[in-house]
Chain A
Amino acid sequence: MIQERAAETFAKLGWPTPRIEEWKYTNLAPLAKINWRVDDAVAEVETPLTFGARAYAELVFINGRLLRQAGARLAAPADERHYGDWERNAMVALNYANMQDGGRIEIPAGTVVDGFIHLLFMGHGDGIWSHPRNQIIVGANAQVAIVETYAGNGAYFTNAVTEIVAGEGAVVDHYRLQCESADAYHVGNVYIHEERGANVTSRSVVIGSALSRAEINVALAGEGASIVLDGLFAGTAKQHLDNRTVIDHVKPHCESHELYKGILDQNARGIFDGRIIVRPDAQKTVSRQENRNLLLSESAVIDSKPTLEIHNDDVKCNHGSTIGQIEQEPLFYLRSRGIGEEEARSLLVYAFASEIVDRMKIEPVREQIRRSLFQNMPDRLPERRGGGR
């Protein structure tokens, strides 16, 4: 049983602390002191974040348990493998040891899903933890869009794992919206495994929670596979938002394009730790990685750590990171037309975020993110109704 082995592993590894290189900026030790409990009494709670009939299928979970399912019927995967690195990653071990419900979905080869599948995870109540596990197996040449949303009320703790396997030539559009309650803790580990010629776009939006760790691991395990990683994290108050990505170029002719943008206000702290590995066999790799950050206050902090590890000569890689404030020229331009300074600033903050939001393909998701961004930073961002276009 994986549960037992994972529990043993977690007992051995313990809660991550900054002594581990991968956890240099984030300490989960305080969470270890809380006597977390599982809530098995599934009850209806308010879910303002449902997409309802706009989704092809929608699954709603409360505290890690499936509450209801609507829309098209979905097949469960036959695959019994676990793609998460539970032997090394303590939080994945903790998830597997306490594994609850989640979206376990198989898209058969050649199937093109018309619409998006929504997995909504609601946390509810203080001292409750949940361990949702999602596994999305996408068959050869199949196409699907998956949206994960995390939200809730109270000081709960979500520890989620999502495994995505994109078969040969599969196309996957993946969204992960972390809009947890302001008192919540959130750890998310995403594993993306790509076969030959697969094409995955994964977009991570981190807005909620007191403390968040969103990790994405990508293995480009087949020739000619490609990944786009888009990230947006926006923190205020004392939020601590840790983002880590690992892209492993295993095979030749793969491409990775990564852009993470951070907006940090008040005493928020943001982290971008992006690692790209190019294996000796991964000839003709193309890899671009960029992290851009906007600091809105004197006391906001960003740690940006892009890393490239290249083990062969025949590659095109570049990476970079910037940290800046609101630029004076655009600010003056907007003001010179009669727009007040505060509104002009908020338009520019929104503009910074919109580079990521605007290229999302699902309109209801874009709307939802605009609303969540505004709710988290009402004095920093303009309220947009109907998309603002």
Chain B
Amino acid sequence: MLEIKNLHAGIDGKEILRGVDLTIQPGEVHAIMGPNGSGKSTLANVLAGRPKYEVISGEVTFEGKNLLELPAEERAREGVFLAMQYPVEIPGVNNIYFLKAALNAQRKHRGEEELDAMEFLQLAREKMKVVELDESFMNRGVNEGFSGGEKKRNEIFQMAVLDPKLAVLDETDSGLDIDALRIVATGVDNLRSEAHSVLVITHYQRLLRYLVPDFVHVLSNGRIVKSGGKELAEELEQKGYDWVDEENVA
């Protein structure tokens, strides 16, 4: 589904990813862990096509398409979703109007019929229950006045409505209490299926207790230095990231 080959990328002329290789098959949940500054967020943003990030070399293919040459909106329409670390507030753009426009842009791209207001509302209500967001949030501006946890739940809500083939979660767990963590994990778990893949980017192991990954990778200094199963996350939790770096150097 997603194939990253020798990806070098950075920001403001500074190279941050220095040769990342990663393959995700349909239905798999991968976790990328790593210390601050290892390049986790850069990887997430490069995949989503955030403009200020520059790709220096390497390849990213998504279902056989060259992802790197597509603008952000087309990546989304192909089925890539980024749950952002810091969702921006957009007063004046109504949450529900925005999400309906987004879903219909994606459906149109796939040659499916657009949902009318009633159909969309029904879908939105169903998904809102999963993330335990009150309906009153829907008529506010995008993320306007939301708490940190509400913003993250709104990301998962959007993900649930848009139903992406690949969801990339950029530190969605940071700043969440246990309840919110559980809600986020449930939302992602509901997406999990043979056709959907998830890439969880996180500093901590705690989200992975609720959302058990098939593979865990350690990113350090812009490279994946270690890969393993879910037990690797626990090992990291106990020994810390220094352990991987030391082992890597040795």
Write the residues of chain A forming the contact surface with B, with a CB cutoff of 8 angstroms.
328-330, 332-341, 343-344, 347-348, 350-355, 358, 388-389
Contacts and interface: CB of A to CB of B under 8 A. Distances in A.
A355 B101 CA distance: 20
Interface in B73-94: 73, 75-77, 81-82, 84, 87-88, 90-94
Interface in B90-138: 90-94, 97-99, 101-103, 105-106, 109
A389 B140 CA distance: 10
A21 to B, nearest CB: 35
A351 B82 contact: no
B167 to A, nearest CB: 12
Provide the main secondary structure of the chain A interface: helix
A353 B91 CA distance: 11
Given A330-B90, A348-B93, A355-B92, A336 B101 contact: no
B48 interface: yes
B49 interface: yes
Contact of A330 (B49, B82, B88, B101): B88
A336 B88 contact: no
14 contacts: A328-B51, A329-B88, A330-B142, A332-B72, A336-B50, A336-B72, A336-B73, A338-B73, A338-B105, A338-B109, A338-B162, A340-B105, A348-B90, A389-B97
Most buried by A among B82, B105, B139: B105
B92 A333 contact: no
Interface string B131-158: 0000000010110000000000000001
Interface residues of B, number: 35
Given A354-B92, A389-B139, A341 B97 contact: no
Given A338-B102, A338-B106, A351-B141, A332 B50 contact: yes
A368 B97 CA distance: 19
B229 interface: no
A339 B105 CA distance: 6
B37 interface: no
Interface of B: 48-52, 71-73, 75-77, 81-82, 84, 87-88, 90-94, 97-99, 101-103, 105-106, 109, 139, 141-142, 158, 162
B88 A333 contact: yes
A348 B97 CA distance: 13
A335 B88 contact: no
Contact of A336 (B82, B99, B109): B82
Nearest to B89: A330
Nearest to A354: B92
B94 A341 contact: no
Nearest to A338: B76
B101 A333 contact: no
A328 B90 CA distance: 12
Contacts of B101: 339, 343, 347
Nearest to B74: A338
A148 B33 CA distance: 61
Given A334-B102, A358-B92, 13 more contacts: A329-B88, A334-B90, A336-B49, A337-B158, A338-B73, A338-B77, A338-B102, A338-B106, A339-B101, A340-B105, A351-B93, A351-B141, A389-B139
Contacts of A355: 91-92
Contacts of A389: 94, 97, 139
A337 B49 CA distance: 11
B71 A337 contact: no
B76 A336 contact: yes
A348 B105 CA distance: 17
A106 B21 CA distance: 77
Nearest to A356: B92
Contacts of A328: 51-52
A347 B73 CA distance: 15
Contacts of A333: 84, 87-88, 90, 142
Given A333-B142, A348-B93, A355-B91, A339 B102 contact: yes
A315 B89 CA distance: 33
Contact of A341 (B48, B73, B90, B103): B73
A341 B76 CA distance: 12
Complex A-B, nearest 4 residue pairs according to Cβ-Cβ distance, in ascending order: A351-B92, A338-B76, A337-B102, A354-B92
Nearest to B94: A389
Contacts of A332: 50-51, 72
A334 B71 contact: no
A202 B233 CA distance: 61
Most buried by B among A328, A333, A340, A341: A333
Most buried by A among B52, B101, B103: B101
A339 B81 CA distance: 13
Contacts of A335: 71-73, 76
